[in-house]
């Protein structure tokens, strides 16, 4: 095997500006030319870095082509054909998957509306039992020296629309908080944000939908649970709506693709 390695120290600009397209490396019948290196180098790279990058690229090219050349000689025709067949099959699968995705993208019947989700939920309630406790709750953490602590406690406990605006205005005074108490959240994830609570305190807060205050030498935690659902209860629709939407979307996709496949069979 004839092996030619003509490495030239040129920057990206040099490669783009050369008028000739001479060979910089050759392995057997394979040739690597200057024009092949134009897109190898990123812009704004130093000459030293570009030289190292080009040298590495050419070295890898020589190794790969040398191995490929030897493989073609040393592998049997059966082994090579097995690879070709598997490659063709993989290519075919990729093309089909791409076409299926395009069909689904252009098929507006795959849009899921709320009524579909609600009907599916109502007809399959037994499948949606909770595997963990969930809560609707809020909390804030603030420094116990806060000059406004009495007002903050009062508004946190009441928490009407004016109070929500108030907390937006003083957010800089609050170390940490979660005030989206209209959404369901995993109970463990919620209480993980409040490390000062014991397990007994958490159970009592959740069980009784408590307003609870926890203090230490530095901070005050205000917690309020509005609602709860426990393990093995039926999950609220709002908590699993996104998951149900995904399930229904996949069902519609499968149904649509089967319809396409049936039409193809009938037309053959």
Same domain, 225 and 247: no
Same domain, 212 and 161: yes
Give me the residue label for tokens 């000739």: 20
* Within a domain: 136: yes
Domain that holds residue 255: 108-125+235-267
Q: What is the pLDDT of residue 6?
A: 46
243-260 tens-digit pLDDT: 999 999 999 988 888 988
Same domain, 260 and 217: no
Q: Is 16:38 a contact under the CB 8 Å cutoff?
A: yes
Q: What is the pLDDT of residue 20?
A: 64
Q: Is 36:10 a contact under the CB 8 Å cutoff?
A: no
Helix (H) or strand (E) holding 27: strand 23-27
Looking at the structure of the chain, the number of domains it has is: 3
Same domain, 59 and 145: no
Same domain, 135 and 217: yes
* Within a domain: 89: no
Highest mean pLDDT among 47-61, 103-117, 142-156: 142-156
Q: How far, in Å, CA of 161 to CA of 168, rounded?
A: 11
188-240 tens-digit pLDDT: 999 998 888 899 999 999 999 999 999 888 899 999 999 999 999 999 999 99
* Cα angle for residues 66, 67, 72 (degrees, 5° grid): 100
Number of H helices, E strands in the chain: 9, 8
**What is the SS3 assignment for 36?**
helix
* Within a domain: 98: no
- Find the mean pLDDT for residues 68-89: 90
Same domain, 186 and 138: yes
Q: Which two structure tokens, joined as six digits, stand for 78?
A: 């059966």
0.75 surpassed by pTM: no
Residue 194: which residues within 8 A CB-CB, separation 6 or more? 139, 141, 214, 221, 223
* Within a domain: 103: no
- Find the mean pLDDT for residues 116-121: 96
| pLDDT reading at 47 higher than 50 | yes
Same domain, 114 and 139: no
| 1 — pLDDT class (breaks 50, 70, 90) | very low
């Amino acid at each position: 095997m004839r092996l030619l390695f003509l490495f030239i120290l040129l920057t990206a600009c040099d490669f783009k500006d050369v008028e000739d397209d001479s060979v910089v490396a050759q392995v057997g019948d394979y040739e690597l030319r200057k024009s092949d290196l134009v897109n190898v180098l990123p812009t704004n790279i130093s000459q030293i870095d570009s030289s190292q990058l080009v040298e590495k690229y050419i070295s890898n090219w020589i190794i790969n082509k040398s191995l490929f050349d030897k493989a073609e000689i040393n592998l049997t025709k059966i082994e090579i054909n097995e690879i070709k067949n598997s490659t063709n099959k993989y290519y075919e699968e990729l093309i089909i998957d791409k076409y299926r995705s395009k069909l689904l993208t252009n098929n507006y019947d795959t849009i899921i509306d709320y009524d579909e989700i609600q009907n599916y939920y109502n007809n399959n309630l037994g499948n949606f039992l909770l595997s963990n406790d969930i809560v609707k709750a809020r909390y804030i953490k603030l420094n116990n020296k806060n000059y406004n602590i009495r007002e903050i406690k009062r508004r946190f406990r009441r928490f009407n629309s004016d109070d929500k605006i108030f907390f937006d205005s003083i957010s800089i005074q609050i170390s940490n908080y979660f005030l989206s108490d209209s959404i369901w959240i995993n109970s463990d994830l919620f209480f993980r944000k409040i490390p000062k609570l014991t397990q007994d305190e958490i159970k009592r807060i959740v069980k009784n939908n408590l307003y609870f205050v926890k203090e230490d030498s530095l901070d005050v935690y205000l917690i309020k649970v509005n609602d709860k659902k426990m393990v093995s209860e039926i999950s609220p629709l709002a908590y699993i709506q996104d998951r149900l939407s995904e399930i229904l979307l996949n069902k519609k996709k499968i149904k649509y693709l089967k319809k396409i496949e049936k039409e193809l069979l009938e037309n053959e």
